[in-house]
Structure 1
Amino acid sequence: MSATILPTADRAATVLPPRRAWALRPVAAAVLMTTAGGGVLIDVARAQSGAEGPGLQVSPESGARFGPLIKADDGGGPLVIEADRLSGRPDLETLAEGAVEFRRGPLLLKADRVEYQQQSDLARATGNVEISRNGNIYRGPEVQLKVDRFEGYFQSPSYHFGRTNAGGQADRFDFLDENRGIAYGATYTSCPAPDPAWLLSTDRVLLDTAAEEGTAEGAVLRFYGVPILAAPTLSFPLTEKRKSGWLPPSIKLDNKSGFELGVPYYWDIAPNRDATLTPSVMTRRGAALDTEFRYLEPGYLGRVQAYALPDDQVANRSRWALNLGHEARWEGATVGEIDYGLALQRTSDDNFWKDFAGTLPSLTPRLLPTDAYARRRFDHGWGDTVAYTRVQTWQVLQDIDPASRIVSPYQREPQIGLRQRGASGGLEWQWETEANRFSNDDPSLQTGSRLHALGSLARPWSPTGAPGWTLTPRVSFNAASYDLDQSLADGRRRASRVIPTVSLDSAWIFERDSTAFGRELTQTLEPRLFYVNTPYRDQTGLPNFDSAANDFNFTSIYSDNVFSGVDRVSDANQVTAGVTTRFLDRTTGAEALRLGIAQRMLLRTQRITADGTPITQRWSDLLLLGSTNLVRNWYFDSTVQYNSDTSRVARSISSVRYSPGPLRTLSTSYRYTRNASEQVELGWQWPLNAPAREHAAAVQARDAQMLEDFEGRSRLAPLAGCPGAWYTVGRVNYSRRDSRITDSIVGFEYDSGCWIGRIVAERLSTGRSQATTRLLFQLELIGLSRLGSNPLKVLRENVPGYRLLRDDSPVVAPALSTP
């Protein structure tokens, strides 16, 4: 063996002969690097030669400590030892004592004393041993480890896993290799010792990082000493990789089905396919099965959900629901790329949506569509052209109460069309032609076929020297031809009409710098004039398959037709005038304030209306809008429809939200329609005590840190909870016209620091005097799993500004499986 004294600023290099004794003043730590021949090269920095001796002896002077010397890696990875005292024999053994730090690659071992046998690559550490590797920390009195192969044992270790911010203790931990380990008598929790609130204890745990799986035997989960879950074998993923097995049970309680217990089984069929089967039992209705199958292929993807209740003990019949979605793309040499898909929702009966609230994923749970489509896009120089075909049918869930019944929409069987939009030479155009076959389950409604064509041609123009002004003349037409199954009032079964429209749209945008509330702002002034002329064509005798009156708002007031769809076109000779001003923050570009006003003036009576009554009122209702967040933490938004003839508000929507930071939101909305409805909505998520307020402040500080260091956000440690923090969440809709609460959600969340409890009561109105009430409760064990029913989806969809208490903490949902 040879040793080299590296030079310092005031000393030249010195080469020592082999096997010469050393006595060094304060130096850098020894760096042991395995060579190709198996020998070890020891380099020491800033050393001074001393007396001879039989081996290597390195001792500090004046309490100094040896620091590491980092050398280039030769391929095997450097092994670095740092200690107060180093001794040993070259190529045989090294003894490190006093605050030892032993490093190789991702492994860092700390101890009071470390013996390292170089030939066998065996390290034995005793006294306050700590191993850090890949974010995981093990502590204990003694460890013996073959460093390169990572084989050995740890006596009575405690451990902490950085990914889940949780850990435990074991009687013994055996390292089988760098990927596998066995813990005997192991525990796991994220709660502080000595009396953790929840504790998972096992007889034996095998961890296999190569297979990304852990398997525990004799697992028992206790919550405050009470066993709440047990399994002979508990398998769980060590990463985000999916794994087959039983998932934590779900618990539900409602006034329709009683107490429900479900135990989901997850089946990882393939990397691109999986399924979840959830058998459940309800105290009032019996046993049910809920299934979901997902697939993802290079050319298509989809999901199939099915719910089956073979024998409903309340309804005395079988109940079921089906929901599937499929999207695909087919590529052919002659036809090119064709997108196609299918969406289907169906149930066994009209009352399913009432009895099983939340089972149907639909915004309109009483209108369940079946929609099959195919479309082909053409790429050429004449614009964007799409050919399409579609079949759309509906299942309407009716109510026995006549006042609650709804009109069944028409079914398209089929719909075939071609549409295009494009621009060239300053002109903009769009057109479509379409054939439909309309049918309806209601025999009293007209059915038949319709062929229609729509088109428009516009020429946007910006005058020279006026970049903030645009003038857009447009001509358009709406043509339709009908072939009906029932005769019209005049005995005809065929009818047609063509309705032209001319419009002129003029818009300006002016800007200036401004200052308000201590903020540098840019103010815009955006006036707009819109003229439209559509001649009157009598449409009273024609069928109405797909038209309805548009909502009167700041978008529709600038449209040339007050109806959606094709079958109705409003006659018009009118001018709409409006102006909007916005204040934009010059630093961020965010909108701080918006104000607007708009009104329509009729130049002649409008005869085609939604209710058939001509509109003779010269001036339409006045639209006013305002929104702002100029006042810190406050957000205001309001739209008012004012009738100047009656000097009354016809309709208004106003909302106020106060949000001083994350986890702190109060909002209220007021919706009013004269002679129709009046509703007040209140929503909130708010801390109830001092620990909750401290936790919310910590989340706000973390958010600010993440915004400042966006790229380094992944390096931030998971935010811990705040023991004893209470929050309340909810949303309540109250109808002043009916003097009753229609829909409501009220709940509480409690963060103990290592577990979160949630309880939420939901009331969903299913009729004027009917409602479904559900009680959702969940126990989230931080770092392990969530147990119970899941109220998080309900809270996210219904509580404005809702945020998870621990949205940055990882949660691993273990699967219980028997190999």
Structure 2
Amino acid sequence: MPLAVLLAVALPASPVAWAQESAGEGLALKPSKQLNQTRRKDLRPAMALSADRITTEVDQRSEAQGDVQLRYGNLLLKTKTLTYDHAQDLATAQGDVELSQNGAILRGPTLSLFVDRFEGQLDSPTYFFSTTGGSGSAKALHFLGDQRMRADEATYSTCPVSEDGERKRDWELVTKSLRLDFEAGEGEATGAVLRFLGVPILAAPSLSFPLGDQPKSGLLPPNVNIDNRSGFEFGQPYYWSIAPNRDATFTPYVMTKRGAGVDSEFRFLEPAHRGQINLAWLPNDRVMGRSRWDLRLQNDGDITPNWRYQINSERVSDNDYWKDFRRRMSSQTPRLLQSDYRTQRDFDFNWGDVQAYARVQRWQPLQVTETVDQFASPYQRSPQIGVRLQTEADDSVLAGYLPTGRGARLEGGVEVEYNRFDLPSGALTSQTQTGERMHMLGHVSLPMSGAAWWLIPKVSFNSASYHVDETLANGQRSISRTIPTFSIDHGWILERNTTLFGQDARQTLEPRVLYLNTPYRDQSFVPNFDAAPRDYNFDSVFAENQFSGVDRVSDAHMVAFGATSRWIENERGEEQLRLGMVQRYLLRDQRISPDGTPQTHRLSDVVLLGSAHLNQAWWTDSTLQLNSSDGKVERTVLRLRYSPGPFRTLSASYRLARGQSEQLELAWQWPLFGPDRKAVTGGPGCQGAWYGAGRLQYSMRDKRFTDSVIGAEYDSGCWILRIGAERQATGRAETNTRLMLQLELVGLSPLGSNALKVLRDNIPGYRSLSSERSAFGTYD
């Protein structure tokens, strides 16, 4: 058995080090991945060489044969035969050469390398990059320094190669030349062709791409979309890296039904300003015979070190834009678009803080021709100017949920604000009143608490003065009113140790009671610019006013009460079960109510809450609103979710609002057939598997499906195909159906429509099949 010898070869200006095998125990080199060495430019690391046999002429030439390993910094070279020229710092290796550096493994028959400069050539190489799981081959690989290399006639793919070499890769990027500059974070391929299942699907004379997180100008994968309103759409994005803090993306596109257009996005990040501008422009829509566009502005920053500003605006060309181009809009309310411009300055004092602010808020309602589907537009604020003063209150105590045990002290706040209210051009013809309002809101409270309780007596007022442009019902154009409120909020948080289904747990009991007294004031002549009924739920039961905004204040002499109990597992601290109940009791009739009908029944609707997470696979939660007079269900939401493992999720929900809507929803992501992949593995040996994914919404009141998505995914291990259809309701008898087709080459890029985003946005618990294999993560 040959004797292993370890030789440390000294480079110029580096010490000579010799190591000898200890008796009965050999020395071994660790793989490069296990070492975390940092190299100073002015200090060369020692070179270590081991082999079955080594002959050397000191400071001239060394030859190693049999199981050769050379270590230099984070570089590890393995081969059968190696010759090292000390004077030239040139290593020549032959036979099963393997070079490992920075997570890359390069193999080839012969190598010549100037070690310290890392310059040389590897013939007929194959390579593997652990960061992406990709591999390939080339005619020759030229090392141009520690951070640069060039490959001639190179290929790249994340698909595995069959052991016999007969089966070709499912997809492969073939280039005439591939240059990689890791220091600049840039890669450039010339004569690039992307082949999928042997068929060329994308070709580019020159293709540039980023290496790592650094942005790089160049073409992005094309976009493909198909829907029944615009036909087939093809778009080719181009990314422009203007500067480290600025970039832009331009996407020229063509639609078979509507014509050609362009989508654009400009982003910037300055020391005091940040934001983006988006413009989607269709110069001539052949269907409508006009120009169509969507313009979005998002920007915030500092005017001065103390003054902040924010801009959030979206505008479209016409009322039907949301039907035809919903995908290009960002607003969560596509039929009501907001333009909001605001500025604010904060002042901090020992006793509290002051906020001075100004705002202009505009609306663009997108109305339809059907009268039944039209809606009242909210009022615009042109402008809104105000100031708020707040003492240094303990917000958690004032919210009534966290006892602190601190001493009682007076807290308070006041808000003074001026608003000019007008109507947008798309408002209903029945909306005519406009005007001005000056209001003042204030409160004084004395919060006190112990280790497990809180008590907050509070006095507040709502005062407003109006001047309107049209005469009010009482014949006047000016009116004022002031409404006081007194409340006492009291609650406890009690705990005890218990067990739940045989597991140790901590149970809480959290009762709460609120006494409220707001006198009745006639508000029938007061204009309503911004008040709206609050949603009746578990939290709003304890609200002092059943209206949001300023213009309406509900009279009330009542007690709101309820309790919540939670079971929290001791081992992981997870909440396993929650039960709760809240209700109101009226001490007198309520004349101003959200539904406009005086409330004479003493007990309000009761709200019940329940949620359970009894194990890692099952979740359920529900809320139930029961009418206390007839016992009927007014509203309910029931949700159930089953998720036993990765890529396996089923969820169902039922929603009921009596007299308004009744809806069922089913969503899923589940394997259909193919290998059982409970964990993402990737790499060689992967076989294809089909998954189903989708969400169905069914209106039981209208007896039809509404917004729904259904699709299927095929995961081959190195590429994923997504196909499906998305349906969105654009009216009582109108829908927009969109077909989705996306091919994701794991480790490279997705092609086609963005089906992944649609599935992720619509399916609770959805998980991308490539989430643990793609170097690019998920895609927006």
Query: Into which bin does the TM-score normalised by the smaller protein fall?
Result: over 0.9
Aligned residue among 616, 622, 628 for 1:644? 628
Task: Tell me which residue corresponds to 1:805.
Answer: 769
1:484 aligns with 2:468: yes
Larger Rg computed on CA atoms = 1
Which residue is equivalent to 1:44? 19
User: Contact conserved, 2:4 with 2:52, CA < 8 A, in 1?
Assistant: no
Is the Cα contact below 8 Å between 1:65 and 1:84 reproduced in 2? no
Residue 738 (structure 2) pairs with residue 774 (structure 1)? yes
Which amino acid in structure 2 is aligned with residue 448 of structure 1?
Answer: G
Note the alpha carbon deviations across 1:258-310, whole angstroms, 9 max, x for none.
00000001010011000000000000000010000000000010100001101
Residue 795 of structure 1 aligns to a residue whose secondary structure is helix
Give secondary structure in 2 for the equivalent of 1:698: coil
Q: Distance in 2 between matches of 1:423 and 1:787?
A: 54
Whether 1:204 and 2:177 are equivalent positions in the alignment is: yes
Q: Distance in 2 between matches of 1:739 and 1:96?
A: 81
Task: Check the 8 A contact 2:647/2:767 in 1, yes or no.
Answer: yes
Partner amino acid, structure 1, of 2:354? T
Structure-1 residue corresponding to 2:440: 453
Question: Which amino acid counterpart does residue 95 of structure 1 have in structure 2?
Answer: E
Change over 3 Å in CA distance of 1:720–1:389 after alignment to 2 = farther
The alignment status of 1:470 with 2:454, answered yes or no, reads: yes
Which secondary structure state, in structure 2, belongs to the residue aligned with residue 29 of structure 1?
Answer: strand
Q: 1:526 — aligned with what?
A: 510
Match in the other structure for 1:10: none
Separation of aligned partners in 2, 1:811 and 1:632: 29
> Are 1:722 and 1:751, in contact at CA under 8 Å, matched by a contact in 2?
no
Which residue of 2 is the match for residue 790 of structure 1? 754
In the aligned structure 1, how far is the partner of 2:565 from the partner of 2:144? 70
User: Which position in structure 2 is the counterpart of 1:299?
Assistant: 272
Q: How does 1:641-680 map to 2 (within 5 A)?
A: 641-680=625-664
Query: Paired residue for 1:238?
Result: 211
SS in 2 for 1:210: coil
TM-score (norm 2): 0.93
Kept in 2: contact 1:459–1:474 (CA 8 A):
yes
Secondary structure of 1:745's match? strand
1:588/1:46 CA distance change after superposition, 3 Å = closer
2: CA distance between counterparts of 1:793 and 1:810? Answer: 15
State the 1:99 CA deviation.
0.9
Change in 2 beyond 3 A, CA 1:551/1:68: closer
- 8 Å CA contact 2:517–2:557 kept in 1: the answer is yes
Are 1:664 and 1:686, in contact at CA under 8 Å, matched by a contact in 2?
yes
- Give the equivalent residue in structure 1 for 2:608: 624
Contact 2:3 2:53 in 1 (8 A): no
Structure 1 pair 176–520 and aligned structure 2 pair: CA distance change class (3 A): same
- CA drift of 1:579 comes to 1.2
* Alpha-carbon spacing, 1:176–1:46, altered in 2? closer, same or farther (3 Å): closer
- Match of 1:82? 50
3-state SS in 2 of match to 1:608: coil
**Deviations 1:233-263 (CA, angstroms, capped at 9, x unpaired):** 1122222210111111110001110000000
- Aligned CA distance change for structure 1 residues 180 and 577 (closer, same or farther; 3 Å): closer
Is this contact kept in 2: 1:681–1:732, CA < 8 A? yes
Tell me the residue number matched to 2:97: 129
CA distance in 1, matches of 2:124, 2:451: 77
Q: Which structure's relative contact order is higher, taking Cα pairs within 8 Å and 6+ residues apart?
A: 1
Amino acid at match of 1:375: Q
- Paired residues for 1:139-218 under 5 Å: 139-193=107-161, 194=165, 195-218=168-191
Partners in 1 of 2:8 and 2:352 — Cα distance?
69
1:269-418 map, 5 Å: 269-331=242-304, 337-418=306-387
For 2:287, what is the secondary structure of its paired residue? coil
1:163 CA drift (Å): 1.9
Is the partner of 2:479 in helix, strand or coil?
A: strand
- Say if 1:456 and 1:476, in contact at 8 Å, map to a contact too: yes
Partner of 2:405: none
How far, CA to CA, are the matches of 1:673 and 1:404 in structure 2?
Answer: 19
Write the letter of the residue equivalent to 1:404: D
Distance in 2, Cα, partners of 1:496 & 1:720: 77
- What residue is the counterpart of 2:679 in the other structure? 698
3-state SS of the aligned residue for 1:796?
helix
Q: Is the 8 A contact 2:159 2:684 kept in 1?
A: no
**Residue of structure 1 equivalent to 2:693:** 729
Q: Distance in 2 between matches of 1:187 and 1:423?
A: 65
Q: Deviation per CA, 1:743-784, whole angstroms, max 9, x where unpaired?
A: 101111111011111123111111111111111211111111
Residues 31 and 68 in structure 1, CA contact (< 8 A), matched pair in contact too: no
Aligned mate of 2:412, from 429, 434, 437 = 429
- Give the secondary structure class of the aligned counterpart of 1:389: strand
Work out the CA distance in 2 between the residues paired with 1:547 and 1:337.
32
Q: Which runs of 5+ in 1 are unaligned?
A: 1-23, 49-61, 703-717, 814-819
Shift of 1:810: 3.6
**Counterpart position of 2:402:** none
Displacement after TM superposition at 1:90 (Å): 1.4
Counterpart of 2:381, as a letter, is R
TM-superposed deviation, 1:596: 0.6
Task: Give the percent of matched residue pairs that are identical in Structure 1 and Structure 2.
Answer: 50
- Residue 101 of structure 1 is aligned with which of 44, 49, 69? 69
User: 2:456, 2:146 → 1: CA distance?
Assistant: 71
The answer to whether the 8 A contact 1:168-1:187 is kept is yes
Structure 2: 5+ residue runs without aligned partners?
Answer: 394-407
Alignment of 1:455-604 (within 5 A): 455-462=442-449, 467-604=451-588
SS in 2 for 1:358: helix
Structure 1 residues 147 and 555, CA, compared in 2 at 3 Å: closer, same or farther? Answer: same
Tell me: CA distance 1:576–1:29, structure 2 relative to 1, closer, same or farther (3 Å): same
- Residue deviations 1:78-111 (CA, integer Å, cap 9, x gap): 1111111111211111111111111101111111
Q: 1:524 to 1:140 in 2, by over 3 A?
A: same
Distance in 2 (CA, whole Å) between partners of 1:291 and 1:754 is 32
Q: How many Å apart are 1:805 and its aligned residue?
A: 1.2
Distance 1:671 1:812 in 2: 38
> Aligned-pair distance for 1:461?
2.1
Contact 1:729 1:747 in 2 (8 A): yes
Report the residue type matching 1:45 in the other structure: Q
Q: How many residues are matched?
A: 747
1:786 is paired with a residue whose SS is strand
Q: CA deviation at 1:690?
A: 4.6
Cα deviation 1:516-549 (Å, max 9, x = unaligned): 1121110111111111000000101111100011
Q: Secondary structure at the match of 2:765?
A: coil
What is the alpha-carbon root mean square deviation over aligned residues?
Answer: 2.2
Contact 2:414–2:440 (CA<8 Å) still a contact in 1? yes
